[in-house]
Amino acid sequence: MSPLDAAASAAAASPDVRDTVEYRAAWDLELWKAVQVDRFRKQLERQKNAALVRLESAIRQREKAAKVELARRAQTVTAREAAVEAAEAHLAAQQSRLAEMEKDLRRTRQQLMDAQQRVEDEVRAQVRLANDTIAHRARLLEERVNAAESQAKRAEERQRRAQQDYLTLYEAFSRARSQQLTSATTNANDLLGVSPCTGAGASTAMQLGQLRAHWDAEHQRQLDREEQRHTAEVAAMKGCCRELAEQNHRLTAALARRREQLRRVQSTACAAASAAAAATKPSASLAPAMHTTTGETPEPITRELHRLAMERISLVDGSSGAVRETDAVIVRMDSRMRDLRQQLVAAGSDNTRGDGTE
């Protein structure tokens, strides 16, 4: 029963009470309470409806945001799946390319071995040819020297014989001339009865002096010619000896430079290989993973890199210009060496990252 109904029943029970002040005050109070309760109930109903509307709106917004986030995550997962598939395809392509590169490397290695063998054969042939040429020139020079000495001895012998023949002929001519003059003078004296003419003896002595001067001049010219020829032969012999000595010195110096260069190259390559091996030494926990991803451990890669570097140096520096740095063989070797260095760097970075995570 509401307060109004209670007040009405009370008023009906006692009609006299309605006219009292207390009754009217109570009536007004109850009426005010009823009004206030009704107003509060309506206000509560409005607040409840507003709260329900806000709650529904918040629920819808959250549902919408959750759907958007779910769609975004679905797209991200789809993109990652596509990236994984692309990475798998790229990895398969890389494995195929690596197999082709290994085949190319084996073929290139065989070509390099053949080229190195050819270069070594050519170098040995050139060395043998140079040694044979030097020995042949030395023999020719020795033969020429011996021939020049023999010719000089024969010339001296001919000169000595010619001088002896000349002296013999001169003495015979002098005796014959003297006998002729003596007989002529005797006959003239016998016929004319006069003393021998002193003018004939003077004329004969003058002729003999002219003959001796002519023979001396001719002998001196022959001696000068022989001396000039002998001097020219000796100069040529000295020039050949000097040329052979210079060539021997050049070959010795080139051989020494080559040995020193090979020693420096070997020491540099060994030091680089040791440094690379020390810098890229893998840990025990990362060795299986590295072996499965790269197919090779850093130590074989370092040995292969060292071998390629030595072969490249021997081909470029030891071929005397037959193999240049722009040739296809050297270009492929450089490409393979760059790939091996990248693998070493990747292995070293993986090792460092693995040590940091542990």
Residue 199: per-residue pLDDT: 54
Structure tokens, 298: 């850093």
What length does the chain have? 358
**What integer pLDDT is reported at residue 333 of this predicted model?**
85
DSSP letter at 195 equals P
* CA-based R_g, the chain, Å: 64
pLDDT at residue 90, rounded to an integer? 93
Question: What does the pLDDT read at residue 38?
Answer: 95
CA angle, corner 247, sides to 241 and 248, nearest 5? Answer: 85
Kind and range of the H or E element at 144?
A: helix 21-192
Task: Determine the pLDDT at residue 239.
Answer: 77
Give the torsion sign (CA, 312, 317, 323, 324): positive
pLDDT score recorded for residue 296: 47
Q: What is the pLDDT of residue 81?
A: 94
Amino acid 151: pLDDT? 77
Q: Cα separation of 331 and 320, whole Å?
A: 18
Q: Are 152 and 227 in contact, with CB atoms under 8 Å apart?
A: no
CA 304 to centroid of chain Cα atoms: 15
Instruction: Give the per-residue pLDDT at 290.
Output: 40
Please tell me the distance from the alpha carbon of residue 180 to that of residue 174, in angstroms, as a whole number. Answer: 10
What is the rounded distance in angstroms from the CA atom of residue 353 to the CA atom of residue 213?
Answer: 109
- Per-residue pLDDT at 84: 95
What is the reported pLDDT for 76?
94
Residue 150, CA distances (Å) to 138, 156, 159, 162, 222 in order: 18, 10, 14, 18, 17
Please list the rounded mean pLDDT of every run of 10 residues in the chain (358 residues). Answer: 52 64 90 94 95 94 94 94 94 92 90 85 78 74 77 79 76 74 61 48 71 78 78 75 72 69 66 58 43 54 84 73 76 87 79 54
SS3 assignment, position 280: coil
